[in-house]
Amino acid sequence: MSETAEKKKVIFSAIQPSGTITLGNYLGALQNWVKLQDDYNCIYAVADLHAITVRQDPKAFRQNILNAYALFIACGIDTEKSPFFIQSHVHTHAELAWVLNCYTQFGELSRMTQFKDKSQKHADNINAGLFTYPSLMAADILLYQADLVPIGIDQKQHLELTRNIAERFNGIYGNTFRIPEAYIGETGAKIMSLQDPTKKMSKSDENVNSWVAILDKPDTIMKKFKRAVTDSEARVCVGEGKDGINNLIGIMSCVTGKTTDEITAEFEGKGYGDFKTAVGEAVVEKVRPIQERFDRLIADKAYLEEQYRKSAEFALRLSQRTLDKVMKKIGYVAR
Ligand code: TYM
């Protein structure tokens, strides 16, 4: 994206570099990121600063960041169109996050369901970063004056808070930040666990059969789908109390582009065993070319480095403008 690019709307989004990027991340977020690249000025990041709210092993962390970077390019992020950088390479994020912390209320942060969930899961490490995480996410978005933020439903509350922080700041100092809107895809907004389809598919789930990783081997993917929890009705159709089948139909629809009706018609009279095998096979076919591209990219460190450096330079120039404006409005002395 060039800085003089025609006035398309601006999109910003980011994903944490956890060791496993799941089918939920792909269908809920990444697939949309790729589709949006032609119609918007998109800026994307690997949110590595966010990732240390839980303890990371240094060696594995470094590798996970690079893996995530390579994997997203393998999924179709085109750095020529969409700057795609590593968050910790662009210092304006941490700086604006501090400023926004001072315009975010304790009560607001206490109400974040992700904070409540994660503090339960990591009761031995409820650190201040976990608590103030949404101010950093707000900084990520507001620095680029984003119009739209593609996310899954689980991040909606953080986006609402971002809007509130931005409106509060604008209310005090005059128009400074554009107020962003969530962009939630029609399909894939919430991919559920294969083992407990009332919960979202999450890489932090201890039951490895509950999620599918984009880099899982074909036979692992097939095994996980064959074990997916369903119901006793044995009819492939969307319905109440059929969370497992609803989720599998949703996944099938996302990966093949077929509508729910088309899928229902195709599996009329067939059992759940056949359907689960078909969903597994469709997912395997979807991720196969991504995995092949990933293997090539991860071996080419020089190429990756060139892409993340170039993107970080661009992101720094753009975000510095917003940060300078913010600092001036607050009353800081210019450097
Ligand atoms: P993260 O890394 O947990 O997830 C990345 C994206 O994937 C979506 N997602 C899902 N969508 C559908 N079904 C699921 N089961 C599922 N699981 C995850 C998430 O909604 C998200 O869009 N805080 C963010 C990362 C972040 C960010 C940002 C996002 C940092 N700064 C600025 C947008 C804008 C996070 O932890 O997402």
Q: Which two tokens stand for residue 198?
A: 């009332």
Which amino acid belongs to residue 32?
Answer: N
Of the listed 81, 156, 190, 203, which one is catalytic? 203
| Residue 29 Cβ < 6 Å to ligand 1 | yes
| Homologous superfamily (CATH) for 10-189+301-330 | HUPs (3.40.50.620)
In the chain, % of residues over pLDDT 70: 98
| Residue 137 Cβ < 6 Å to ligand 1 | yes
pLDDT per residue over 222-277, tens digit each? 999 999 999 999 899 999 999 999 999 999 999 999 999 999 999 999 999 999 99
Residue 188 pLDDT: 73
Q: What kind of architecture, by CATH, is found in domain 208-294?
A: Orthogonal Bundle (1.10)
Based on the residue annotation, tell me whether 203 is a catalytic residue of this protein.
Answer: yes
Residue 3 pLDDT: 52
Between the CA of 25 and the centroid of ligand 1 the distance, in Å, is 7
Between the CA of 94 and the centroid of ligand 1 the distance, in Å, is 19
DSSP for 76-144, written as a single string: T--TTTS-EEEGGG-THHHHHHHHHHTTS-HHHHHT-HHHHHHHHHTTT---HHHHHHHHHHHHHHHHT
Contact 99, 169 (CB under 8 A): no
Taking the CA atoms of 57, 63, 66 and 68 in sequence, report the sign of the dihedral they define: negative
- Mean pLDDT along residues 100-127: 95
pLDDT per residue over 178-233, tens digit each? 999 999 887 777 899 999 999 999 988 889 999 999 999 999 999 999 999 999 99
| Residue 184 Cβ < 6 Å to ligand 1 | no
Residue 7 pLDDT: 82
| Residue 187 Cβ < 6 Å to ligand 1 | no
Ligand 1 atom closest to 16 (CA): 2
State the chain's mean pLDDT as an integer: 95
If you take atom 5 of ligand 1, which residue's CA is the nearest one? 15
Boundaries of every domain in the chain: 10-189+301-330, 208-294
Q: Is the full-model pTM beyond 0.85?
A: yes
Contact 6, 39 (CB under 8 A): no
User: What is the separation, in whole angstroms, between the first and last Cα of the chain?
Assistant: 29
The Cα–Cα gap between 103 and 93 comes to 15
Residue 5 pLDDT: 54
